[in-house]
Amino acid sequence: MKIAIVGGGISGLATAFYISKARPDVEITLFETKDKLGGSMMTQEVEGFFFESGSNGFLSNKPDTLALIEESGCRDILIQSNDSARKRFIYKDFLCPLPESPKAFLRSPLLSWIGKIRVAGEFFVSPKKDDTDETLQSFGYRRVGKEMTNVFLDAMVAGIFGSTPDKISVNSAFPAVVKLEKEYGGLFKGMLAKKKKEAGPGGVLMSFKQGVSSFIQRLASVCKIEIKMQCEVSDIKPKNGKYIVTTQESEVLFDRVILATPSYISAKLLENIDKSLAKDLNEIEYSPISIVGFGYYDLSHPLDGFGLLTTTSAKKSILGVLWDSSIFGDRAPQNAKSVRVMIGGQRNPSLALKGDDELVSIAKMGIRETMGIDDGPDVVFVKRYEKGIPNYGLGHKDKMVKIFNRLQQHKGLYLNSNAYFGVAVNDCVSNSKKCAQKVLEELSPSPR
C-alpha cells in the first residue's frame, strides 16, 4: 500500500504523522516543492533574530495540537508566551489597551457610552431564526452593534485573517461564535452558561524554542516516511483505481493521494481528473499578505505587551505589529528587541505586493505613526505571500459541501489544507487528524 502526500506544510506533515503512526506498514511519500518544510510555518534566522514568515504559534485552548506535540515527542521544545506580553493594543485614532475586564471595558475610550450600552444590549437580542450564511459585519451589527464591530471585531479579524468584517463569513471563520448564538440564544448567555470564553480567541499562545520551524523539523524527523524535497508534483492521473503522481524526476503509482496543497494548486493538479472540481477549488480566493520584521540592538521603546492591531477606520497602511521579542524571549539576542509588521491582507491587498524597499518604508511609517518609534532597525526581514491566507467569504460553507461531495467520486483522493475548514494551525492539525482517520478507515486492514 503506497500513499502520496503532496505538500509539506503542517497539514501534510500532521496527516503523515497520524497515518504512519497507526499504520507503519504503509509506505508514505511526502512531496514538497521547496527546500524547506513548513509552508506558512517557517522561521528565518537573521543575525541571531528569529523571524516567523507566517504563524507565530498556536493557542492552547484546542487539545489536538498539544496532543500532537506530546505524541511526536516535541514537548521539550514547546514554549509558552510570556505572561507580561498578555497586554494587547488597538490603534483607532490613538493607541489604546484592549480592555481585559468588564470594568476596563466600561472605562475604555475605544467605544462611546452609546456603543457600550449597545454591547450590553446583546443580552436581549433575539437569535437569528435561519441558518443562512452572513458576514461577520452583519452578525456583529445585529448582536453587538456597529461601534463594537467596527473597532473590536474589525481589529480582531485583521489580526487573524488580514480581513475585514464585511468580507468574511462568520459561519465559516468563527463557527464557535455562531454556535453560541444558536445553542444559547446569544453570546453573553452562551458565555455565562459555559462559564468560559469559547467565543473569543482564548487560550495562551504557545510556540517552540527558536521558532515554529524547530517543531516542523522534529515532526518530519519522527514520521517514518520518505520525504522528497524540492520535488514539485506537476500532475496526477488516475490509473486502474490508483493514481500516477508526476514530478520532474519520476512517475510513480500510488494507491492513495492526499493533496495538502493550497486549493489553487490542488485545482491545477486535478484539472485532468475532474474539471468541475478544479473549477470549484479555483473559486477559493487568497489574499496577499506581507510580513516585515525589524530587529533592534538598542531600542528605547519598552514593547510592553503583545502588540497592536489597527482598525480600518484608522486608515493606516499596516494591519498591526507583533512585539515578537516580548512575546517569546528567545526571538532576539540578549538585550535586543524585535517586531513584525503585517501589511496587506483583504483590507489592503495591493500594499502587500509592493517591492521589498517599499514594504520596509510602509512598515517603518506604520510603527512611527502607531508607536512613535523613529529609530532605524539594525536587522530587516521581509516575507511576501502573493496568495497568503484563503478568504472564507460568504457562501464558503456551501462551496465546501459541493467540493467534498464531488470528491467522493474519486476514491483514494483526499483534500486537506487550510483552504477548507479553518486557517489557524489548530484547525489544520485537527483537520489533518480527521483526514488521516478517514484514510485509515478506507485502507484495507493491516496484514499483522
Ligand X SMILES: Cc1cc2nc3c(=O)[nH]c(=O)nc-3n(C[C@H](O)[C@H](O)[C@H](O)COP(=O)(O)OP(=O)(O)OC[C@H]3O[C@@H](n4cnc5c(N)ncnc54)[C@H](O)[C@@H]3O)c2cc1C
Which parts of this chain interact with ligand X (CB under 6 A)? 6-12, 31-34, 39-41, 54-56, 58, 232-233, 260-262, 265, 289, 291, 385, 388-389, 417-418, 423-425, 428
Q: At 176, list the grid cell.
A: 464557535
**Residue 307 CB neighbour total at 10 angstroms:** 23
Q: Are 280 and 420 in contact (CB under 8 A)?
A: no
- Nearer to ligand X by Cβ, of 26 and 292: the residue is 292
Could you tell me which of 165, 164, 187 has the C-alpha nearest to residue 176? 187
> At its nearest, how many Å lie between ligand X and the CB of residue 120?
31
Could you tell me the smallest distance in angstroms from the CB atom of residue 132 to ligand X? 27
Instruction: Pick between residue 29 and residue 108 the one whose CB is nearest to ligand X.
Output: 29
Q: How many CB atoms lie within 10 A of CB 338?
A: 29
Cα–Cα distance measured from residue 288 to residue 262, given in angstroms and rounded to the nearest whole number: 13
Contact 215, 429 (CB under 8 A): no
By beta-carbon proximity to ligand X, the closer residue of 178 and 265 is 265
Is 58 or 152 the residue whose CB approaches ligand X more closely? 58
CB 177, min distance to ligand X, A: 17
Angle of the 212-222 helix axis to the 10-22 helix axis, nearest 10: 30
What minimum distance in Å lies between the beta carbon of 420 and ligand X? Answer: 9
| CB 104 to ligand X: min, Å | 25
| 121 Cβ neighbours under 8 A, 6+ residues apart | 145
Please state the closest distance from residue 116 (CB atom) to ligand X, in A.
Answer: 29
106 or 176: whose CB is closer to ligand X?
Answer: 176
Which secondary structure element, helix H or strand E, spans residue 326, and what is its range?
Answer: helix 324-327
Closer of 311 and 426 to ligand X (Cβ): 426
In whole angstroms, what is the distance from residue 255 CA to residue 244 CA? 9
Q: Which is nearer to ligand X, 115 or 262 (CB)?
A: 262
Q: Shortest Cβ distance from residue 432 to ligand X (Å)? A: 8
In 3D, which of 33, 27, 14, 51 has the Cα closest to residue 377? 51
- The three-class DSSP label of residue 272 is coil
- For 354, the 3-state DSSP assignment is coil
| Shortest CB 7 distance to ligand X, Å | 3
- Cβ neighbours of residue 70 closer than 8 Å, sequence gap 6 or more: none
Can you read off the three cell numbers belonging to residue 28? 508514505
Residue among 110 and 428 whose Cβ is closer to ligand X: 428
